[in-house]
Amino acid sequence: MDENVLFNPGDAISESHDYNEALRSADIYNARHGRKRGLMIARPLEQDHGYSVFYADDLLSADTPRPEARQYHVEKRIPKEE
C-alpha cells in the first residue's frame, strides 16, 4: 500500500520509534476499548523514523488546508470490528 494522508499530530493515540511497538500499542488499545473504530499506523513524511497510531476516521481532508495538518505515510490499516 502506498498511501499518504493528513493527520493532526495531536490526535495520535500513541507514538513510537519502532513499528512493532506501534502495532503492539494499537493491539493493546483495541483490547481495552474494543475495535469500534478503525485504526491506522502511519509514519510522518518529514521524519526518517517514528510511527503514530490514529483513528482512521480522524483523517483530515486535503481540500481544506489546516496549519496543524502533517503528511503521513500509511503503514497499516486495522479495520473496526463489524
pLDDT digits (tens, 9 = 90+) for 26-36: 999 888 887 78
In a domain, 81, yes or no: no
36 within a domain of the structure (yes/no): yes
Asked if residue 1 is part of any domain, the answer here is: yes
pLDDT of residue 30: 87
Provide the 8-state DSSP code for 60: B
* Domain total of the chain: 1
61 belongs to a structural domain? yes
Tell me how far apart the alpha carbons of residues 56 and 79 are, in angstroms, rounded to a whole number: 8
Model confidence, pTM: 0.85
- pLDDT tens figures, 41-76: 999 998 778 999 999 999 888 777 778 889 999 999
30: helix, strand or coil? helix
Residue 47 placed within a domain? yes
| Containing structural domain, residue 12 | 1-76
d(CA 30, CA 66) in angstroms, rounded, equals: 29
Q: Which of 75, 8, 64 is nearest to 39 (CA)?
A: 75
In a domain, 82, yes or no: no
Query: What is the average pLDDT across 17-22?
Result: 95
